[in-house]
Structure 1
């Protein structure tokens, strides 16, 4: 897992991830319905253009809705994020090609007190996305066990960050 940095500040989750794939392939992971279905959920609408709507069925009656607010293919994708029973938030994804692949900076803004509950989820989803982009999808049946592992790691990270020397 090439998670290179993780931080939370002021209700924003910041994740930096190094993908061993070109930016166009990583971009497709966020914009191609077939790839979205391998890592985020079943797209019910996938209109990836400015003011377009992306809706994803995560199962169990949970449907996220996003409106594309800014886009610069294949470098930047910004969108709203609406999830049931939560305030609307914003996501900004920036991609930068490197000699070895692509660095993604992922920011989920306006999470408030939900920021730490989103950390393990996005890490799990991005692990699935990396596999999907590489053409080696992880079976959906492994999602919750992998998520539980990341929750433990994330909790340890939080504890280490708040420990006083």
Structure 2
């Protein structure tokens, strides 16, 4: 897993991840409904253009809703994020060429007290995204066991940062 860094500040989660693929392939993970279904959930809507929307069923009708606020294919995507029973937040994704493929800077803004609960979730989803881009989808049944592992590692990372920070 080429997770480069994870940080939280001011209620925002920042993840840097290097994918061994060119930017258009990584971009497809956000814009192609078939790939989106392999890493985030079942797309109900997938319209990745200015003012378009992405609606994903995460299981049992539990929907996330996003409105695209800025898009520069295949380098930049900004959108709102609405999840049931949570306040609206914002996501920003930037892709740049790297020696190893594509570096993605992923920021989920305005999470407030939810910031640490989102860390393991996004790391798990991005692990699935990497596999989907490589053509080797991870079975959905592995999501929660992987999430539990990342949750344990993330908690240790947060605790270590609290001691050194």
How would you bin the TM-score normalised by the shorter chain? Answer: over 0.9
Question: By how many angstroms is 1:164 displaced?
Answer: 5.2
Verify: 1:73 aligned to 2:73, yes or no: yes
Which 4+ residue blocks in structure 1 deviate beyond 3 angstroms? none
- Pairing of 1:95-110 with structure 2 (within 5 A): 95-110=95-110
Three-state SS of the structure 1 residue aligned to 2:60 is coil
Question: By how many angstroms is 1:60 displaced?
Answer: 3.2
Three-state SS of the structure 1 residue aligned to 2:142 is helix
Residue 146 of structure 1 is matched in structure 2 by 146
Question: TM-score, length-normalised on structure 1?
Answer: 0.98
Q: Distance in 2 between matches of 1:70 and 1:11?
A: 21
Q: Distance in 2 between matches of 1:136 and 1:129?
A: 10
For each residue in 1:88-143, what CA deviation from the matched residue of structure 2 results, as whole angstroms up to 9, or x when unmatched? 00000000012320000000000000000000000000000000000000000000
Gaps of 5+ in 1: none
Question: TM-score, length-normalised on structure 2?
Answer: 0.98
- Pairing of 1:1-165 with structure 2 (within 5 A): 1-163=1-163
For each residue in 1:5-51, what CA deviation from the matched residue of structure 2 results, as whole angstroms up to 9, or x when unmatched? 00000000000000000000000001110000000000001111000
Three-state SS of the structure 2 residue aligned to 1:51 is coil
Three-state SS of the structure 2 residue aligned to 1:87 is coil
Three-state SS of the structure 2 residue aligned to 1:152 is helix
Q: Distance in 1 between matches of 2:164 and 2:30?
A: 39
For each residue in 1:35-74, what CA deviation from the matched residue of structure 2 results, as whole angstroms up to 9, or x when unmatched? 0000000000111100001100001331000000000010
RMSD: 1.0
